[in-house]
Amino acid sequence: MAGDGVNGVRKAGKTYERIIEHLRGEISSRRLRPGDRLPPETDLARSLGVSRPTVREALKVLESQNVLSSSTGPTGGTFVEAIDGAGVAEYLKDSISLLLDVDELTLPELWQAREITDIPAAELAAARRTDQDVFVIEKTVDMDEHKEGVAIVSDISFHRAVAEASKNRMLSLFASSIHMTLRTLAERYIIPEDVLPEVKRISQQQHRLVFEAIANRDGATAAARMREHLQLSYGVYEQAMPRRWNCTPDF
């Protein structure tokens, strides 16, 4: 019944939303752990005092958020997923991409957010990077210099490596979600072939300059070079993407 709480607790809100809140609470309190198998939908519905379709609706939402996963067969069922930054970033990416698609987010807004994550990440990476971080970033730069094709270069591996080197997991999470969104966009749009070689050359050169500043622990230079790189890549996306995504919203 609407308004009835899960396990006898009365709360406002839709029933399936309260089931989601209940299951998230079980995970947060560690009563449910990664890999744990949930009871069958019928048993779960009975224990929570709700209908089976309501339970199924809640489980589908949690699966879409990478909190749960399901499989079929003798060993199948619904299981608690390991909560990590990659899964959360994937969920955020889907939401950001949808906002772009329905004109609730513009390219300038996305790029402002990218500047807020990528530039500080480069500066922090210069201060906090390890020898392993330097190795990983350099490898992504080397790989980028051997890329071929005419798709927009989203640079996700390079920027993710820089964000990881910042040692700030929240910053890395937001940076990853933004770059995953850019990869989704990059798969849709093409740089004109006569423009691509010069864009790639400058982009790759800028990557190496950012890398060198990080390797030298020069935070101010790393931040400045990252800003220059973002200005270049914004121009590329601005030309390739539909005009409606490039407009600054009226507030």
What's the per-residue H, E or C state across 100-163?
HHCCCCCHHHHHHHHHHHHHHHHHHHHHHCCHHHHHHHHHHHHHHCCCCCCECCCCHHHHHHHH
pLDDT in tens, 95-148: 888 777 777 888 888 889 899 999 999 999 999 999 999 999 999 998 877 766
Whether the Cβ atoms of residue 237 and residue 151 lie closer than 8 Å to each other:
no
Return d(Cα 96, Cα 90) in angstroms, integer. 10
- pTM: predicted TM-score of the whole model, two decimal places: 0.67
Q: Which residue has the higher pLDDT, 65 or 192?
A: 65
pLDDT at 207 over 80: yes
Contacts 24+ apart (CB under 8 A), 132-136: 133/161, 133/164, 133/165, 133/214, 134/214, 134/215, 136/161, 136/164, 136/165
pLDDT of residue 131: 97
pLDDT at 57 over 70: yes
Q: Residue 209's pLDDT is what?
A: 97
State the average pLDDT over residues 26-37: 92
Q: Which residues of the chain does CATH 1.20.120.530 include?
A: 85-245
Crossing angle of the two packed helices 107-128 and 219-240, in degrees rounded to 10: 160
Cβ-count burial 1-36 (b if 16+ within 10 Å, e if not): eeeebbeeeeeeeebbebbbebbeeebeeeebeeee
Superfamily (CATH H level) for 85-245: GntR ligand-binding domain-like (1.20.120.530)
Q: What 3-state DSSP class applies to 79?
A: strand
pLDDT for the residue numbered 194: 65
- Which of 48-62, 96-110, 177-191 has the least mean pLDDT? 177-191
User: Using CA atoms, how far apart are residues 77 and 191, in angstroms rounded to an integer?
Assistant: 45
**CATH 1.10.10.10 in the chain, residues?**
6-80
Is pLDDT at 251 greater than 50 in this prediction?
Answer: no
Structure confidence at residue 3 (pLDDT): 45
| Distance separating alpha carbons of residues 112 and 61, to the nearest angstrom | 30
Predicted confidence (pLDDT) at residue 199 exceeds the cutoff of 80: no
The answer, yes or no, to whether residue 229 has pLDDT greater than 80, is yes
The average pLDDT across 39-63 equals 94
CATH of region 6-80, choose from 2.30.42.10, 3.40.50.300, 1.10.10.10, 3.40.50.1970:
1.10.10.10
Collapsing DSSP to helix, strand or coil, 20 comes out as: helix
Q: Work out the pLDDT band at 205, boundaries 50, 70, 90.
A: very high
Structural tokens at position 142: 């080397």
Using pLDDT thresholds of 50, 70 and 90, give the confidence band for residue 203: confident
pLDDT average, residue stretch 195-211: 85
Give which of 171, 138, 152, 162 is closest to 241, Cα–Cα: 152
Query: Looking at residue 238, what DSSP letter applies?
Result: H
